[in-house]
Amino acid sequence: MKDLKNRIDVKLALIPVVHTATKADSSIIDLQGANSATLIINTGAIAGSGDYTVSLRHGDASDLTGDAAAGASDLLGSLPASLAADSVYTVGYIGGKRYVRAVITKNSGTSIAAGAVIVRGNLNNSPAVA
């Protein structure tokens, strides 16, 4: 079996909790030192017949001033039109920006249990340094 643990760096982007606000912004993740990244979203229960979407935003400013939604050409795979309960979604990021963040948006409903991590891969320094 080959080692993966020492070749990736997993960053907590969005703490897994029940989100009730209109929008939940994840932590800003710096991709410097990584040559690939994958966003992983996991969901639990959705209350109130909710409709929730997720996007990956990217930019070059450390506070993501002037950020934009990553387009289809920046992603490997696609994000769902609406999040489903008790699911896991993955999408690769191949855009050229240094900083990324996940955003969950409530379009309707009461709440969603969700969390997100961003896996930084193909690191310039291996093994991964926390």
Convert the pLDDT of each residue in 1-44 to its tens digit.
888 888 899 999 999 999 999 999 999 999 999 999 999 999 99
Q: What distance in Å separates the CA atoms of residue 90 and residue 66, rounded to the nearest whole number?
A: 25
Higher pLDDT, 113 or 5: 113
Question: Which pTM value belongs to this model?
Answer: 0.92
Q: What distance in Å separates the CA atoms of residue 97 and residue 99, rounded to the nearest whole number?
A: 6
Convert the pLDDT of each residue in 34-77 to its tens digit.
999 999 999 999 998 889 999 999 999 999 999 999 999 999 99
Q: What distance in Å separates the CA atoms of residue 114 and residue 87, rounded to the nearest whole number?
A: 9
CB 26 within 8 A of CB 113: no
